[in-house]
Structure 1
Amino acid sequence: MSQILVTNRYVGRISMQSAEAPADVTLHINPGMTVFRQVKNTLLLLTACAMASTATAQDVSRPSSTPACPPAKSIQAPQLYGAWKIELTANGQTGKLTLRQHPEFSESLRGELNYGATKSIASGDLEEGELNLDESNDRVSLTATWTGKLVESSCGKEIRGEWHDLVKNISSPFILRREAGW
């Protein structure tokens, strides 16, 4: 409940109490004024009160100043270039992935992985919001796969999916989060 109190030496005082919309208006009139001047000043003060009460209301017709995220399916591989934090949730490992353009296939990704005791490279693609990376720790044979999807509300800054170690035959959910500054 808010209260607005307006005082005018010609009209007197107008006070208004409101929760959502004006509920009570009290007018105290100066008996020495002409009726015309009292009505005119009363209307001016009522207008001021109405403007003051609506100035604090939220304007829901305006869109938010924060731009909406593009749909995950519209994000392209170059938008993933840069540093990412890795979290393998099943085994608690963390690390870093750096992605860039693949040197031979311009639409594909190449990256370096560093998590736990593992240092390896990965190559793959992003298609309609789905990331597929093949990992190799000797640059010859495939040692793990990463399959995930861009989180729709993350503006391309988070990917969740499944990591599968082909050598040890173990899997873990993973989270990739864009590092600050990229």
Structure 2
Amino acid sequence: MTVRFIEMRFFAQRAALAFFLGVASFAAHAQSLARVCPKAHEATQEHLIGLWRAEFTDLPAATLLLWQHPELAASVRGQINRNGERADLAGDVDEGEFTLEESVNGVNISATWLGDVVEGSCGREIRGTWRREGQAREYEFVLRKQ
């Protein structure tokens, strides 16, 4: 009788442990999915890293390649290619707000990108405006991760 009670108690402890491990595993999986598809305000520089296609209103499309900034952990560096013309990029995303500075000569800012991560895009789409320095006109853009 005592052996059977001990076996039942052991089984109950194992079942409880399996249940708690299952709950913990599910919670970890849910958190992992949240990181895979962040809400707009949760997007970080990690979501910016990669190849992007930029489409503009009234301007030709462009390709951007962004990578981890070598000196600023929460920022990115990169390059843009517009029909063979290249420029340097540096920027970040904070609470879903995207900022990118473009420099044709690598020293001075030649254009500024301001936008927002699109909710439901998992950090893969950004919409906003692009403006060349010294000009008043802004062009709408859509950035989509490739």
User: TM-score, length-normalised on structure 2?
Assistant: 0.71
Matched, 1:141 2:108: yes
Tell me the secondary structure at the aligned position of residue 125 of structure 1. Answer: strand
How big is the shift at 1:70? 2.4
How big is the shift at 1:169? 4.0
Which structure carries more strand by proportion?
A: 1
**Aligned pair partner of 1:102 in 52, 69, 78:** 69
Matched, 1:121 2:88: yes
Give the gaps of 5 or more residues in structure 1.
Answer: 1-66
**Aligned pair partner of 1:172 in 131, 139, 146:** 139
State the Cα RMSD in Å.
1.7
Amino acid at match of 1:80: L
Matches within 5 A, 1:5-154: 69-89=37-57, 91-116=58-83, 118-154=85-121
Query: Where does residue 125 of structure 2 map in the other structure?
Result: 158
Which structure carries more helix by proportion?
A: 2
* Cα-to-partner distance string for 1:21-78 (whole Å, 9 max, x where unaligned): xxxxxxxxxxxxxxxxxxxxxxxxxxxxxxxxxxxxxxxxxxxxxx774211111111
Larger radius of gyration, structure 1 or 2? 1
Q: Give distance in 2, aligned partners of 1:168 and 1:119.
A: 20
Q: Quick check: 1:86–1:115 contact (8 Å CA) kept in 2?
A: no
Percentage of pairs with the same residue: 40
Query: Aligned residues, how many?
Result: 112
Query: Larger RCO: Structure 1 or Structure 2 (Cα < 8 Å, ≥ 6 residues apart)?
Result: 2
Amino acid at match of 1:134: E
Query: Where does residue 61 of structure 1 map in the other structure?
Result: none
How big is the shift at 1:111? 1.1
Give the gaps of 5 or more residues in structure 2.
Answer: 1-32
Q: Give distance in 2, aligned partners of 1:70 and 1:123.
A: 22
* Cα-to-partner distance string for 1:91-137 (whole Å, 9 max, x where unaligned): 13101001111111111111101124641011111101111011100
Q: Quick check: 2:49–2:68 contact (8 Å CA) kept in 1?
A: yes
Q: Quick check: 2:47–2:124 contact (8 Å CA) kept in 1?
A: no
